[in-house]
């Protein structure tokens, strides 16, 4: 039977059941795992507790790429721990300076048909080369590393048929911003977007990564392109053509839905504060004075992106009121740009080159000024994501960002270059990248690895493990939130906060710090509590600290109108019960600090429907539990770590 590309790859990795039905749980064998420094300590602490001798997937890679500002001892403590624990368990390390995880992973480890899980929501970046790449929480990565098949709710597969060709001055960013404009940040929940058609064939891998990476902002499980001639070219340029295999949808295959986008009709777009789906055209957006521009990041930090931005800037200078920085996504790209003269163009134009790292994208440096307008080529513009909740962040392509840097307001490459904008089309990805893997530390042999001592500085605190839910829960509402709460709202990012993530007792004091600074103290004082959330609760970054910190503060359940996939998985893993209002109108009837009561909780959970009494208001309401059998079991036994240990013990006993 003719199959689409996504089903082919999922089928090839299916452990159980034999059928893949959208909405039903499937379990998948994983080929590769990826972690990065600001989320990974919890992953490896969990893996240590599991007690295996070595990672059991083909390739596990630990990236030291997000926080390279060593403000004090905490981040170097983390990096030294991560490097030593990787050596102990057979994991590659990508050292600081090698580049941003997704860019390096696709270039040096990715291959068509593989299935990868990453502890970062932008893991789908690798879908650009016909891989199935899924972002999950850190505990899921520890689980994947045991070789136990990973559970996933089978998504719907949506075909995105691309026709036409991008116009000069336009970037693949226009495609993903158009997807967000049409489908919103919730539109991709429970879906895989599979890009095909003649327009897709015109896009190089560097273009495709922008689309698959930022597909995370749609809430999608992942996004994928076929492994075609463009992928062969990329793999050849990486010196890995032997790992290329053509892979695409079968002729006449079916999909669960279809979207059409004509690339020729797109024009430069801009996502306005504070959501990536708040999209309009640069032509129509209200002109504002721009204070800061950031070019690069994992979404748009490719050779082609940076070179085209440099061409827009050539012969111009960054506006005197603009601070313009550039974060190139990998060392090999940097070296090629240097060789081809683009770095000089950037420097001559007054652009400041940053480390080859995430940096400002997750508020590690370069925060905008008070009420500052920042233009970025990254993927998220949530309030506070850039480190300053008063800032207004707009998302655009590198070509448009460079134009904004020159004029000091929202502009396009066409406005700067006029008819010469067609010259941008001459800039394509290199035929060969300067390969240099000296910053990648390969795994040790099994024997040598056993001799490695894991180094734990004072910032490495033990991993807290939740208790199983009690049968009779009586507690208050510690927080009632609005819609679209992000994991950045729950666990703020910045150089300072990110360096606390290995130390939950410390980090939990800053839970919801920017949204409600009194929350952490209140929740702690209550001892146990429930959070009431709106729509799309927990969207954004995969960081599991957004579940661990509330768990540590005694949060037992979150009742929301709807919930983002990765965050829901993280809540399950860390023993917080994710519940959905059966009637969303009940949200309005509950207030913060109401007294809630659930009798026979564990029994009711088994029915996937829980009645909650609000004793303050004298009302009752019901919540659904959208959980598979195994997810339910995980929560009932007190989180994924306890569950996994039990599973492995049972496997050993057989």
Q: Which residues bind ligand F3S (CB under 6 A)?
A: 66, 100-102, 120, 122, 297-298, 358, 361-362, 378-379
- The least distance separating ligand F3S from the CB of residue 101, rounded to whole angstroms, comes to 6
- Between 231 and 362, name the residue whose CB sits nearer to ligand F3S: 362
Rounded to whole angstroms, the Cα distance separating 85 from 80 reads: 9
Rounded to whole angstroms, the Cα distance separating 227 from 220 reads: 20
- The least distance separating ligand F3S from the CB of residue 381, rounded to whole angstroms, comes to 12
Give Cα separations from 390 to 142, 363, 520 (angstroms). 37, 13, 22
First to last CA, the chain: 37
- Between 310 and 363, name the residue whose CB sits nearer to ligand F3S: 363
- The least distance separating ligand F3S from the CB of residue 206, rounded to whole angstroms, comes to 15
Max CA distance (Å), the chain: 72
- Between 218 and 532, name the residue whose CB sits nearer to ligand F3S: 218
- Between 326 and 641, name the residue whose CB sits nearer to ligand F3S: 326
- Between 26 and 42, name the residue whose CB sits nearer to ligand F3S: 42
Contacts of 579 (CB under 8 A, 6+ apart): 557, 558, 559, 560, 610, 623, 624, 625
Q: Which residue has the tokens 């226009």?
A: 174
- The least distance separating ligand F3S from the CB of residue 301, rounded to whole angstroms, comes to 7
Rounded to whole angstroms, the Cα distance separating 581 from 95 reads: 45
- Between 105 and 412, name the residue whose CB sits nearer to ligand F3S: 105
Tokens (6 digits) for 138:
């850190």
Q: Which residue has the tokens 């777009």?
A: 269
Beta carbons of 517 and 507 less than 8 angstroms apart: no
- The least distance separating ligand F3S from the CB of residue 303, rounded to whole angstroms, comes to 16
- Between 249 and 297, name the residue whose CB sits nearer to ligand F3S: 297
Rounded to whole angstroms, the Cα distance separating 307 from 304 reads: 5
- Between 216 and 311, name the residue whose CB sits nearer to ligand F3S: 216
Least Cα distance to 495 among 62, 39, 68 occurs for 68
- The least distance separating ligand F3S from the CB of residue 552, rounded to whole angstroms, comes to 24
- The least distance separating ligand F3S from the CB of residue 523, rounded to whole angstroms, comes to 27
- Between 300 and 478, name the residue whose CB sits nearer to ligand F3S: 300
Specify whether the backbone of 370 is left (phi greater than 0), alpha (psi in -120 to 50) or beta: beta
- Between 230 and 358, name the residue whose CB sits nearer to ligand F3S: 358
- The least distance separating ligand F3S from the CB of residue 248, rounded to whole angstroms, comes to 27
- The least distance separating ligand F3S from the CB of residue 79, rounded to whole angstroms, comes to 16
Beta carbons of 155 and 191 less than 8 angstroms apart: yes
- Between 16 and 352, name the residue whose CB sits nearer to ligand F3S: 352
- The least distance separating ligand F3S from the CB of residue 34, rounded to whole angstroms, comes to 10
Rounded to whole angstroms, the Cα distance separating 235 from 229 reads: 10
- The least distance separating ligand F3S from the CB of residue 48, rounded to whole angstroms, comes to 25
- Between 228 and 277, name the residue whose CB sits nearer to ligand F3S: 277
Rounded to whole angstroms, the Cα distance separating 29 from 152 reads: 11
- Between 334 and 581, name the residue whose CB sits nearer to ligand F3S: 334
- The least distance separating ligand F3S from the CB of residue 330, rounded to whole angstroms, comes to 11
- The least distance separating ligand F3S from the CB of residue 298, rounded to whole angstroms, comes to 3
3-state secondary structure of 167: coil
Rounded to whole angstroms, the Cα distance separating 116 from 122 reads: 12
- Between 102 and 159, name the residue whose CB sits nearer to ligand F3S: 102
Least Cα distance to 477 among 519, 510, 509, 535 occurs for 519
3-state secondary structure of 72: coil
Indicate the angle between helix axes 229-237 and 205-214, nearest 10 degrees. 100
Rounded to whole angstroms, the Cα distance separating 553 from 538 reads: 17
Contacts of 151 (CB under 8 A, 6+ apart): 25, 26, 27, 628, 630, 631
- Between 101 and 160, name the residue whose CB sits nearer to ligand F3S: 101
Bridge-based pairing of strands 473-480 and 595-598 is antiparallel
Contacts of 585 (CB under 8 A, 6+ apart): none
- The least distance separating ligand F3S from the CB of residue 296, rounded to whole angstroms, comes to 8
- Between 361 and 417, name the residue whose CB sits nearer to ligand F3S: 361
- The least distance separating ligand F3S from the CB of residue 122, rounded to whole angstroms, comes to 5
- The least distance separating ligand F3S from the CB of residue 383, rounded to whole angstroms, comes to 16
Rounded (5°) CA angle 257-264-236: 80
Rounded to whole angstroms, the Cα distance separating 431 from 342 reads: 17
Tokens (6 digits) for 86:
């990787």
Least Cα distance to 332 among 504, 526, 104, 615 occurs for 104
- One-character DSSP codes across 93-162: EE-TTSB-HHHHHHHHT--TT-EEEESSTTGGGGGGGT-EEEE--HHHHHHHTTTPPEEEEPPEEEEEEE
Contacts of 275 (CB under 8 A, 6+ apart): 185, 381, 382, 484
3-state secondary structure of 364: coil
């Amino acid at each position: 039977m003719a199959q689409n590309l996504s089903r082919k790859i999922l089928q090839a990795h299916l452990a159980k059941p034999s059928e893949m039905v959208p909405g039903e749980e499937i379990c998948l064998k994983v080929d590769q795992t990826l972690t990065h420094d600001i989320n990974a300590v919890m992953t490896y602490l969990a893996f240590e507790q599991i007690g295996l001798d070595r990672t059991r997937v083909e390739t596990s890679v630990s990236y030291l790429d997000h926080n390279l500002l060593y403000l004090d001892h905490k981040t170097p403590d983390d990096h030294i721990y991560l490097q030593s624990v990787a050596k102990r368990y057979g994991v590659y390390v990508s050292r600081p300076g090698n580049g941003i995880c997704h860019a390096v992973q696709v270039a040096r480890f990715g291959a068509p048909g593989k299935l990868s899980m990453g502890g970062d929501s932008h893991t789908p970046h690798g879908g650009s080369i016909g891989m199935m790449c899924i972002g999950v929480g850190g505990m899921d990565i520890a689980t994947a590393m045991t070789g136990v098949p990973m559970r996933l709710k089978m998504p719907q597969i949506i075909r995105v048929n691309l026709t036409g060709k991008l116009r000069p001055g336009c970037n693949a960013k226009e495609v993903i911003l158009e997807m967000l404009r049409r489908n919103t940040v919730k539109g991709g929940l429970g879906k895989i977007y599979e890009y095909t058609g003649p327009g897709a064939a015109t896009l190089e891998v560097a273009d495709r990564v922008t689309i698959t990476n930022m597909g995370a902002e749609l809430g999608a499980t992942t996004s994928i392109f076929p492994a075609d001639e463009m992928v062969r070219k990329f793999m050849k340029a990486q010196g890995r053509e032997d790992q290329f295999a053509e892979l695409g949808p079968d002729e006449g295959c079916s999909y669960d839905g279809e979207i059409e986008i004509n690339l020729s009709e797109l024009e430069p777009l801009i996502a306005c504060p504070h959501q990536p789906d708040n999209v309009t055209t640069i032509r129509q957006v209200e002109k504002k004075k721009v204070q800061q521009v950031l070019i690069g990041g994992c979404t748009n930090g490719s050779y082609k992106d940076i070179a085209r931005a440099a061409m827009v800037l050539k012969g111009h200078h960054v506006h005197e009121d603009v601070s313009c920085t550039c974060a190139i996504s990998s060392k090999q790209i940097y070296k090629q740009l240097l060789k081809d003269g683009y770095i000089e163009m950037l420097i001559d134009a007054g652009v400041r080159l940053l480390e080859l790292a995430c940096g400002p994208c997750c508020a590690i440096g370069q925060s905008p000024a008070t009420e500052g307008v920042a233009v970025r080529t990254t993927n998220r513009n949530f309030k506070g994501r850039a480190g300053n909740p008063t800032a207004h962040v707009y998302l655009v392509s590198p070509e448009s960002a460079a134009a904004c840097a020159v004029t000091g307001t929202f502009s396009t490459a066409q406005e700067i270059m006029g008819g010469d904008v067609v010259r941008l089309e001459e800039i394509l990805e290199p035929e060969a990248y300067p390969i240099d893997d000296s910053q990648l530390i390969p795994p040790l042999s099994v024997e040598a690895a056993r001799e490695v001592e894991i180094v734990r500085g004072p910032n490495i605190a033990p991993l807290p493990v939740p208790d199983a839910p009690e049968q009779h829960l009586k507690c208050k509402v510690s927080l009632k939130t609005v819609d679209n709460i992000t994991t950045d709202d729950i666990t703020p990012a910045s150089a300072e906060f990110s360096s606390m993530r290995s130390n939950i007792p410390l980090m939990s004091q800053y839970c919801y710090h920017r949204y409600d600074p009194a929350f952490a103290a209140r929740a702690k004082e209550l001892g146990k509590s429930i959070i009431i959330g709106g729509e799309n609760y927990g969207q954004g970054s995969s960081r599991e600290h957004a579940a661990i910190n509330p768990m540590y503060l005694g949060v037992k359940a979150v009742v929301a109108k709807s919930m983002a996939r990765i965050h829901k998985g993280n809540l399950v893993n860390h023993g917080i019960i994710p519940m959905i209002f059966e009637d969303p109108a009940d949200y309005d009837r509950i207030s913060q600090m109401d007294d809630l009561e659930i009798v026979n909780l564990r029994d009711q959970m088994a029915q996937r429907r829980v009645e909650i009494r609000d004793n303050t208001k004298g009302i009752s309401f019901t919540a659904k539990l959208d959980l598979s059998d195994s997810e339910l079991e995980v929560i009932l036994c007190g989180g994924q770590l306890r569950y996994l240990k039990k599973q492995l013990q049972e496997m050993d006993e057989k």
